[in-house]
Structure 1
Amino acid sequence: MEPRLSFVTLGVSDLQRATRFYEEVLGLPRIPTPPEVTFFELGKTWLALYPRELLAADAGVPAAGSGFPGFTLAHNVRSAAEVDALLKEVASKGGRIAKPGTRADWGGYTGYFADPDGFLWEVAWNPQFPHT
């Protein structure tokens, strides 16, 4: 397998609400798509939003489930101040802060927000991570 991640697809409960959050709150660049799915281009990886029940059916698994899904998404920024600024902006536009920005034991600064469906995003400044 080639070392590449092509899509991250989130099964959402309300496609229009989720699309508005990712497009208007996070400012992600939306790609023209059919009405039943929304795509955002994030460099070489795309983020897809798809109704949860349809995504579960596509994978052949039940749609029911709650709690921590066992993964988070991450967005690295260039400074600790940017972590706080982004968390503040997301909170002012309807995102839920799961963990305010704090110093991390690995030497950086990190906080978490949840999108309208509860998917967790880490916002982090890592002085050792060059990909910002």
Structure 2
Amino acid sequence: MEPRVSLITLAVKDIAASAAFYEALGWEREPGNEGVVAFNLLGQTLGLYSRAGLAEDLGIPEEAIGGFSGITLAHNVRTAEEVAPLLAAAEEAGGRILRPAGEVFWGGFIGYFADLDGHVWEVAHNPFSELSKEGAFRWGGY
């Protein structure tokens, strides 16, 4: 298997509301199939898919999908000063702040929010991993 993630799919209760949430953060929706919303990222795509549809695809009951799974999604920024405004934008769009912006033990500056369905996002500035000019992240920097 090649070392990459192509598509991240989030199971959501209300696709339209979740799409509006991510659009409020400045992401652009791609034209596509009915029932799936896609946002192209740097090297990946974030997909929004109904909880019921994903459960059906997996062959499990819908109620088996949910709760904090121990996975967080991260959005790295170029400076520590960018963290708090992004958290504020997420909160204004209907998200919930889980940890306000602040320093972390390893020398970075982070905060966490949950989207409308509880998917946990970290907004982080890692001074040891400079982003590419396009904004791509790689451990250890570009």
Q: TM-score, normalization: structure 1? A: 0.93
Q: Per-residue displacement from partner, 1:45-94 (whole Å, max 9, x unpaired)? A: 00000001111110122221443122010000111110011111221232
Which region of structure 1 is more displaced relative to structure 2, 60-69 or 8-17?
60-69
SS in 2 for 1:55: helix
Which residue of the partner structure matches residue 43 of structure 2?
44
Which residue of the partner structure matches residue 30 of structure 1?
29
User: Which residues of structure 1 form unaligned runs of 5+?
Assistant: none
User: Which residues of structure 2 form unaligned runs of 5+?
Assistant: 136-142
Counterparts of 2:26 and 2:75, CA distance in 1: 13
Indicate the percent of aligned positions where both proteins have the same amino acid: 49
Runs of 4+ displaced beyond 3 Å: none
Counterparts of 1:12 and 1:83, CA distance in 2: 25
Is residue 53 of structure 1 aligned with residue 37 of structure 2?
no
SS in 2 for 1:64: helix
Which residue of the partner structure matches residue 109 of structure 1?
109
Which residue of the partner structure matches residue 2 of structure 1?
2
Counterparts of 1:14 and 1:92, CA distance in 2: 18
Which letter maps to 1:62? P
Counterparts of 2:59 and 2:99, CA distance in 1: 33
SS in 2 for 1:58: helix
SS in 2 for 1:128: coil
Q: TM-score, normalization: structure 2? A: 0.87
CA RMSD, 1 decimal: 1.2
- Name the count of aligned residue pairs: 131
Q: Per-residue displacement from partner, 1:86-132 (whole Å, max 9, x unpaired)? A: 11122123221111012111100100011111111000011011234
Which residue of the partner structure matches residue 128 of structure 1?
128
Counterparts of 1:5 and 1:124, CA distance in 2: 20
Which region of structure 1 is more displaced relative to structure 2, 112-121 or 53-62?
53-62
Which residue of the partner structure matches residue 100 of structure 1?
100
